[in-house]
Chain A
Amino acid sequence: MTEFLYEINAKLSDAVNTAVRVEPMGRNTYRLITPFIFEDGDGFVAYLEKIDGKLRFTDRGHTIMHVSYKVDITSETRESILNSVLATHDLTYNDGEIFTEATLEDAGPAFWDFIQGLIRISDISQWKFERAASLFFEEFEVFMETKIRPSVPVLKEDWRDPSIDESGLYKIPWMCINGGKPLFVFPIQSNIHCDQAVKSCLKYDGVGYEFNSFAVFADIEKINRRSQNQLLDIGAQAVTSFDSQRKLRAEKIIVDHFNYLHS
């Protein structure tokens, strides 16, 4: 084994705390054999290339292609997942390929980030979740624009009162005023959305701002009990589902709620 192979092998294995095999595949290319696998058992595709004195870890476009066997990787879903993973792990995306570059000294941490990024991107449940979330929010926006906007004089998306929320950490997804107290509307697809709604309500409530709140769950069954209770405890009314079967009923409840509050 050459000195380089010995050194890189040790660095990569140390970085991910498991044995990594480095196999020369040509003058400047090495195949990396790791124990990391997709959910269907197929191993990750990972190569190390030496380019202009730098080391480049690349999946050669396999990861995204593999994910596409089971989920729709097109459009905004891909962007949403990739942007978050690439930013967290300092990776680059180019036409399906995910890669990162490093010096020999930094090879260990760069490889760790590379593998963590592939693990996150290959998580099929995340893609399904993001897709479902994206569809829910698209559907909800259409609903607010077509059913609610014509009935209320003021409807704002991602609203905040700068005197209360200077940094924009507690934005209200939809705020409607039709005389009386403002109505904060929270579309909720995950525990994170639910917890964020609670934080936003507490922020405004804490400074004595008067408002009513309304939560629209994509499916309340998928939200953990603690998050649900916190939101309902602060007085938010709620629609428990916005799926296609119960959407019409949910729309009626929301519209009636607006009419009732502002009649």
Chain B
Amino acid sequence: MMQLTDNEIEKLISESKTWPGRHKITFKREAGHKRAGKELETRSDNRFNVFIRQNARDPLDFSVGLVYMDRTTGEKIHLLRCNGPSHRHPNKIEGNDVDFTFHVHQATERYIIAGKEAEGWASGTDEYKDLDSALAYFAKRANIQPVPYIKKAPPEKPSLFE
């Protein structure tokens, strides 16, 4: 598995990225879920992909993920993933549970070193409440501009009250 420190992971997540083309998401339907994906543009040589999934039976069963690909080895690592509350998530190393709530997975050095899935750690969040708001949060967290959306484009500038 690709070895990354927490600092390197954070740098990759917060690196400035551009969402190319239309930023309104168009989905394809496949095997009971809606799916979309995009390769992001960066000023660096780093390569990132975003994937979006939403269960056709349960709109709150969704996932938005940021994948980093090592250019030389082709190896991929999931750096960040915003999930809905459709399932619980036990953190294997910490021994605690995220119980049926919106949660964010993030790759960590300790999971990589332990030989587990890099993004095996997750924590509950109230930063979003559906896929649209999860996308907005995800874009902000992963420094992606412009912010992609599904139903309603987010405002270009923050409102006076934010």
Contacts and interface: CB of A to CB of B under 8 A. Distances in A.
Contact of B32 (A39, A43, A65, A70): A65
A60 B55 contact: yes
11 contacts: A33-B88, A40-B78, A40-B117, A40-B119, A40-B120, A41-B116, A42-B88, A61-B58, A65-B31, A69-B53, A73-B31
Given A42-B89, A68-B30, 6 more contacts: A43-B90, A65-B53, A65-B63, A69-B65, A95-B56, A96-B32
B31 A44 contact: no
Interface of B: 30-33, 35, 51, 53, 55-58, 61, 63, 65, 78, 81, 83, 86-92, 105, 116-117, 119-122
**Interface range on chain A (Cβ under 8 Å from partner):** 20 to 34
Contacts of A43: 87-90
Contacts, number: 85
Nearest to A74: B30
B110 to A, nearest CB: 13
Interface of A: 33, 37, 39-45, 60-62, 64-66, 68-70, 73-74, 78, 95-97
Contact of A45 (B32, B53, B61): B61
Given A62-B61, A64-B31, A73-B31, A45 B119 contact: no
A42 B91 CA distance: 9
Nearest to A61: B32
Contact of B83 (A42, A61, A73): A42
Contacts of B90: 37, 41, 43
Contacts of A33: 88
A74 B55 CA distance: 16
A128 to B, nearest CB: 11
A96 B81 contact: no
Contacts of A61: 31-33, 55-58, 61
A59 B32 CA distance: 11
B31 A42 contact: no
B31 to A, nearest CB: 4
B102 to A, nearest CB: 13
A10 to B, nearest CB: 22
B61 A97 contact: no
A40 to B, nearest CB: 4
A68 B53 contact: yes
B89 A62 contact: no
Given A40-B120, A41-B117, A62 B87 contact: yes
A68 B78 contact: no
A64 B86 contact: no
A41 B92 contact: yes
A40 B57 contact: no
Contacts of A45: 61, 86-87
A95 B32 CA distance: 5
Contacts of A66: 63
B61 A60 contact: yes
